[in-house]
């Protein structure tokens, strides 16, 4: 359809139209974001979409956490130790002294249910507290909306609380961030 000089002319015209459209933009080529006064250009995405397999790992992590507490207090705390961000180096004793200073809570179940539709990449997220405060978390980091409840034997059923939590995937394994200091 387009041959020789006709095609070259079409490319020049197209480039000219693009330049006219872009002339309404502010910023320069080194800017991280582009604003269009014409509404034609969209903001570039700063994070990648979640990988489907990662969403499955994240949902499963929180389901396994709930199930671990059904196995008893020690099993629940051990799950925290085994599935916490490795760089935090939290031990069973750390969790006991920081989260349960009066001792084990018999019949405790910590229920967390992740909303798979809420999972979003959060590249560059920094750890907000503890010994790693301000450090960028390693792996593919996600934020996720989680419905959380803490059941205790003999207590009325609590209302769920919605939390925004972070999870990272490192070498195919999901880890949450649960401080222990």
Count up the domains in the chain and report the number.
2
Give yes or no for residue 122 having a pLDDT over 80.
Answer: yes
Range of the domain at 32: 4-36
Both 115 and 29 in a single domain? no
Both 15 and 70 in a single domain? no
Percentage with pLDDT > 90 across the chain: 66
Q: Are 34 and 43 in contact (CB under 8 A)?
A: yes
pLDDT digits (tens, 9 = 90+) for 94-116: 999 999 999 999 899 999 999 99
What is the pLDDT averaged over residues 4-18? 37
Q: What is the pTM assigned to this prediction? A: 0.72
39 or 120, which is more confident? 120
The H-or-E segment that residue 142 falls in is: strand 140-151
Rg of the chain over Cα atoms, rounded to whole angstroms, equals: 25
- How many residues are present in the chain? 181
pLDDT reported for residue 47? 63
User: Which positions ≥6 away from 74 have C-beta within 8 Å?
Assistant: 92, 104
**81: its two tokens:** 């130790």
What is the pLDDT averaged over residues 132-142? 96
The reply to whether 43 falls in a domain is no
Both 57 and 32 in a single domain? no
Classified as helix, coil or strand, 2 is coil
Percentage with pLDDT > 70 across the chain: 74
pLDDT digits (tens, 9 = 90+) for 22-50: 333 333 333 333 333 333 333 344 567 88
Average pLDDT, the chain: 80
The reply to whether 114 falls in a domain is yes
21 or 49, which is more confident? 49
Both 69 and 156 in a single domain? yes
Helix axes 92-99, 73-83, angle to 10 degrees: 110
What is the pLDDT averaged over residues 75-80? 98
d(CA 129, CA 112): 21
Both 101 and 140 in a single domain? yes
Start-end of H helices in the chain: 4-22, 52-70, 73-83, 92-99
């Amino acid at each position: 359809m387009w041959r020789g000089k006709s095609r070259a002319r079409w490319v020049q015209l197209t480039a000219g139209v693009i330049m006219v459209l872009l002339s309404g933009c502010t910023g320069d080529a080194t800017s991280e974001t582009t604003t269009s006064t014409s509404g034609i250009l969209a903001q570039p995405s700063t994070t990648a979409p979640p990988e489907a397999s990662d969403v499955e790992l994240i949902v499963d992590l929180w389901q396994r956490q709930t199930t671990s507490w059904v196995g008893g207090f020690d099993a629940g705390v051990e799950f925290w130790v085994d599935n916490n961000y490795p760089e935090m180096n939290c031990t069973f004793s750390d969790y006991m002294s920081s989260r349960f200073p009066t001792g084990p809570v018999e019949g405790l179940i910590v229920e967390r249910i992740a909303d798979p539709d809420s999972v979003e990449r959060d590249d560059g997220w920094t750890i907000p507290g503890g010994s790693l405060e301000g450090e960028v978390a390693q792996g593919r980091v996600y934020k996720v909306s989680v419905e959380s409840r803490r059941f205790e034997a003999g207590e009325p059923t609590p209302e769920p609380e919605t939390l925004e939590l972070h999870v990272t995937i490192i070498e195919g394994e999901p880890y949450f961030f649960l401080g222990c200091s």
